[in-house]
């Protein structure tokens, strides 16, 4: 085969679109090696994928077939809201095994990173400053841009730092977020394009899409609603993955927990409604557990 397939699916809800994407990938994706394969791993399944979710906040939002639970989704949403930004490592400290970035940190303080100085102290570095501030808060800039001119084509955020990310072990998979508002009878609809250079379809994609749906609600749509003095709903989310893949090591689990269940269960048995009372109870309880987990991790690092 000479070409990587370019696949496209669309669904009304997040759970529906996610399921369609996995089916399409497994049926039409190309078999590929990756730099993470072990000697005996099967080839990965890969494609360039375009997923459109027409109503991201409508139920059913949650698909049961993702490696995790409601608690994991809650923790990931907190992460995207900035609760783990302080987990970013000192980039010149080989003994620091924390993360090289968080998505929120790259979006809210683009161009900054941590290093240890000659005295061994952790200091924040920056590509430059603007108005006396280090880094660029792209989240605020996007909200300001859309509030001033809802139809602008310039409301976007990026994560990639070329001077750093070509050489780090684990550069950001998320590359950009692009927004535009449509007005309909005094109400606004926030349309969004999300681009990933690499997206683990089985191990991460659902959490990514769910997480950024709530990111768009809490950090973009709600502040815009306050600024515009009008309701802001989430319009369609277009998810673009340059490499949408299932690793060879995960295919047995994927087949058992997803593929084989397609013929033996109804769609309603494979999803959760996020607004169900039971799920909302778990969601609320999970926030306290996730925050405690972060606090305990922080204490261990200090000790």
Mean per-residue pLDDT, 62-75 = 94
Integer Cα distance of 68 and 286 in angstroms: 13
The total number of residues shown for the chain amounts to 303
In this prediction the pTM is 0.93
Read off the tokens for 194.
């999300």
Distances (CA, A) of 238 to 177, 180, 234: 10, 12, 12
The conformational region for residue 82 under phi > 0 = left, psi -120 to 50 = alpha, else beta, is left
Q: If we measure between CA atoms, which residue out of 134, 142, 98, 128 comes closest to residue 116? A: 98
Average pLDDT, the chain: 91
Tokens linked to 188: 């606004």
Instruction: Determine which of 48-62, 227-241, 283-297 has the lowest per-residue pLDDT on average.
Output: 283-297
Secondary structure string (H, E, C) spanning the chain: CCCCCEEEEEECCHHHHHHHHHHHHHHHCEEECCCCCCCCCCCEEEEEEEEEECCCCCCCCEECCCCCCHHHHHHHHHHHHHHCHHHECECCCCCCCCECCCHHHHHHCECEEEEECCCCCEEEEECCEECCEECECHHHHHHHHHHHCCCCCCEEEECCCHHHHCCCCCCCCEEEEEEEEEEECCEEEEEEEEEEEEEECCCCHHHHHHHHHHHHHHHHHHHHHHHHCCCEEEEEEEEEEEEEEECHHHHHHHHHHCHHHCCCCCHHHHEECCCCHHHHHHHHHHHHHHHHHHHHHHHHHHC
Q: How many CA atoms lie within 13 A of 214 on its CB side?
A: 20
Question: Higher confidence at residue 211 or residue 293?
Answer: 211
Could you tell me which CATH number the domain at 6-302 has? 3.30.572.10
The pLDDT score that the predictor gives to residue 34 is 85
- Averaged over 157-173, what is the pLDDT? 92
pLDDT per residue as tens digits for the range 100-109:
789 999 999 9
Contacts of 17 (CB under 8 A, 6+ apart): 9, 10, 11, 51, 52, 53, 209
Question: Can the peptide bond before residue 60 be classed as cis, meaning omega within 30 degrees of 0?
Answer: yes
pLDDT score, position 277 = 97
**Helix crossing, 277-302 with 70-78: angle to 10°?**
60
pLDDT digits (tens, 9 = 90+) for 246-268: 999 999 999 999 999 999 999 99
Q: Which residues contact 76 (CB under 8 A, 6 or more apart)?
A: 207, 210, 211
Query: Cβ of 120: how many Cβ atoms within 10 Å?
Result: 8
Alpha-carbon span 186 to 180, nearest angstrom:
16
Cα angle value 25/29/34 (rounded, 5°): 105
Mean pLDDT of 204-231: 97
**169 versus 190: which is more confidently predicted?**
190
């Amino acid at each position: 085969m000479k070409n990587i397939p370019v696949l496209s699916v669309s669904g009304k809800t997040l759970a529906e679109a996610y399921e369609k994407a996995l089916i399409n990938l497994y049926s039409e994706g190309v078999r590929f090696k990756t730099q993470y394969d072990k000697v005996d791993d099967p080839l990965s399944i890969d494609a360039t994928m375009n997923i459109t979710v027409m109503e991201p906040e409508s139920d059913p939002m949650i698909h049961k077939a993702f490696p995790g639970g409601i608690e994991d989704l809650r923790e990931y949403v907190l992460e995207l809201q900035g609760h783990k930004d302080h987990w970013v490592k000192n980039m010149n400290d080989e003994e620091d095994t924390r993360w090289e970035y968080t998505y929120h940190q790259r979006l809210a303080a683009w161009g900054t990173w941590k290093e240890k100085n000659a005295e061994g102290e952790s200091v924040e570095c920056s590509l430059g400053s603007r108005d006396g501030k280090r880094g660029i808060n792209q989240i605020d800039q996007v909200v300001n841009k859309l509030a001033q001119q809802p139809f602008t084509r310039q409301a976007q955020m990026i994560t990639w730092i070329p001077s750093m990310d070509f050489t780090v072990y684990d550069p950001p998979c998320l590359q950009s977020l692009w927004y535009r508002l449509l007005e309909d009878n005094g109400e606004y609809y926030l349309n969004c394009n999300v681009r990933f250079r690499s997206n683990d379809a089985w191990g991460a994609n659902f959490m990514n899409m769910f997480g950024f749906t709530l990111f768009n609600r809490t950090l973009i749509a709600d502040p815009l609603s306050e600024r515009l003095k009008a309701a802001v709903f989430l319009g369609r989310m277009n998810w673009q993955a340059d490499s949408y893949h299932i690793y060879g090591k995960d295919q047995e689990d994927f087949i058992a927990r997803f593929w084989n269940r397609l013929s033996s269960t109804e769609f309603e048995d494979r999803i959760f409604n996020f607004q169900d009372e039971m799920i909302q109870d778990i969601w609320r309880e999970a926030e306290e557990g996730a925050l405690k987990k972060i606090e305990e991790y922080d204490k261990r690092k200090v000790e």
